[in-house]
Amino acid sequence: MSSYREALEYIYSLSNFEASRSRAAEHFNLARIAGIMEEMGNPETRYKIVHVAGTKGKGSVCAMLESILRAAGHRTGLYISPHLHTFRERIRVAGEYMGEDEFASWIDHMRPLIEATPGVSTFEVATAIAFAHFALQGVEIAVLEVGLGGRLDATNVVRPLVSVITSISHDHMAVLGDTLEKIAYEKAGIIKNDIPVVSAPQHAEVLQVIQSVCTERNAPLTLVSQDWTYEPIHSDLNGQSYSLSYERMPGVAYPYLSMPLLGDHQLINATTAVATVRVLQESGVTIPEETIREGLQGVHWPGRLEVLNRRPLMVADGAHNDESCRLLAEALMRHFDYRRLILIFGALSGHDHTSMLDALRASDPTLVVTTQADHPRAANPAILSSSAESLGMPSRAVPTMSEALQQALSVATNDDLICACGSLSIAAGIREAWMSHAGLPLPPKDPLGM
């Protein structure tokens, strides 16, 4: 049998659009994944599914839903992308990562089928493995995160119990389109005939597209901020509490919920998750009310406004476009009390890092330490530093994340805040650098990076 390292080398050797700048729109279609699933006996039809698309928040909503469903006693599957530290995070059963030997065994099993499918991508193979693994492991209900877009994403061969669309903004425009309406149309491609839809609050032009597609496909639509509303109660470094109300049925409310995730955007994500749970309950899925509380309290979603240290405050966040950086800046000012802010910033080439830095400027950083993640598309720190300087933010460029952490720590006092952001790979790298610095157990890590 192949080793785990050999399996990773093989799957990364396929068409890997996460690692490449080339994302030709014509490459994306459902023919390859549909053919592979048919050859494998369509394992994705053997369990219930929740399908989640969007630009921001879809991973958080997936994590919340899986945690609630697991608390309710269901054997869950969770498929997400990208990962923080190990590819195995992407495929989880009952909250546990897929094992290294399991992953290598699936690659060996699928190799003939992969080699008989010209142009098959890393993501398509990972999706097929997840679908088959969930069936083999007796999963009852799987929560699936869309990789890119929706309409032509490899996950879109499924027929779910409910389709969920989180906040949509500009992202991957070379593939999805250069306007919000075009991007929304691609995301709304997960909407199926007669299948309920839950949507987070959207820009007016996005909502119009979603409503139009729902009407066309006779898909009942639940809107967060209209049908469901939330009210913040309290927040501190341990998390936040809030109340939810179902406006369609005034008697349905959750007067006090809590979760360990910070940021107003996570309140929207939590409301979206609970609205989805309500649809699942109406579809016949057993989810006791108390397990909603338990699941949200127990959700674990690292690298998203995650507090790594208290003195000095240290936060890691995967914000990777201008909108998410704007929300991050707002969250830093709302949830944290600090004297000065030191940013550790890195981005992937192809992302508008100048707009991201401009959005972060609102939080008034004292220093921006730019660095380079262990990722094939990582942008040059010197270029990032030049952009920060052009926006009036003092900056230093360093080549590694370990050096970036040391630079930030050398400047920060106990009353300051260090925030690492710009991409999920930066959040992951700083998490690892901090754990190593503090002598903490390191997370599971792959023998080679993407």
CATH assignment at residue 157? 3.40.1190.10
Residue 200's pLDDT is 97
Verify that 30 and 146 share a domain, yes or no.
Answer: yes
**What domain range includes position 146?**
4-297
Residue 26's pLDDT is 55
Q: Which of 275, 297, 319 is the last residue of a domain?
A: 297
197 within a domain of the structure (yes/no): yes
450 within a domain of the structure (yes/no): no
346 within a domain of the structure (yes/no): yes
Q: Say how many CA atoms lie within 13 Å of 167 toward its Cβ.
A: 20
Verify that 285 and 348 share a domain, yes or no.
Answer: no
Cα–Cα distance for residue pair 65/439, rounded to 1 Å: 33
Verify that 155 and 229 share a domain, yes or no.
Answer: yes
Residue 171's pLDDT is 63
pTM for the model = 0.94
Verify that 285 and 319 share a domain, yes or no.
Answer: no
Verify that 325 and 284 share a domain, yes or no.
Answer: no
122 within a domain of the structure (yes/no): yes
Structural domain total, the chain: 2
- Residue 100, classed as helix, strand or coil, is helix
Residue 15's pLDDT is 83
446 within a domain of the structure (yes/no): no
Verify that 149 and 167 share a domain, yes or no.
Answer: yes
Verify that 41 and 100 share a domain, yes or no.
Answer: yes
Cα–Cα distance for residue pair 380/397, rounded to 1 Å: 9
Residue 57's pLDDT is 92
Cα–Cα distance for residue pair 53/58, rounded to 1 Å: 6
Residue 374's pLDDT is 86
Residue 314's pLDDT is 98
Cα–Cα distance for residue pair 12/26, rounded to 1 Å: 21
Task: Enumerate the β-bridge partners of residue 259.
Answer: 240
User: What is the CATH number for 359?
Assistant: 3.90.190.20
Verify that 397 and 273 share a domain, yes or no.
Answer: no
77 within a domain of the structure (yes/no): yes
**pLDDT tens for each residue of 138-178:** 999 999 999 988 899 999 999 999 999 999 987 654 445 56
Verify that 92 and 223 share a domain, yes or no.
Answer: yes
Q: Is the peptide bond before 82 cis (omega within 30 degrees of 0)?
A: yes
Verify that 176 and 233 share a domain, yes or no.
Answer: yes
Separation of first and last alpha carbons in the chain: 22
447 within a domain of the structure (yes/no): no
- Residue 27, classed as helix, strand or coil, is helix
Residue 173's pLDDT is 47
- Reference 188, options 222, 164, 161, 204; nearest CA is 164
Verify that 243 and 317 share a domain, yes or no.
Answer: no
Verify that 383 and 428 share a domain, yes or no.
Answer: yes
Give me the residues of the chain with pLDDT under 50, please.
Answer: 21-23, 173-175
94: left (phi over 0), alpha (psi -120 to 50) or beta: left
448 within a domain of the structure (yes/no): no
Question: For tokens 């490899």, what's the residue?
Answer: 154
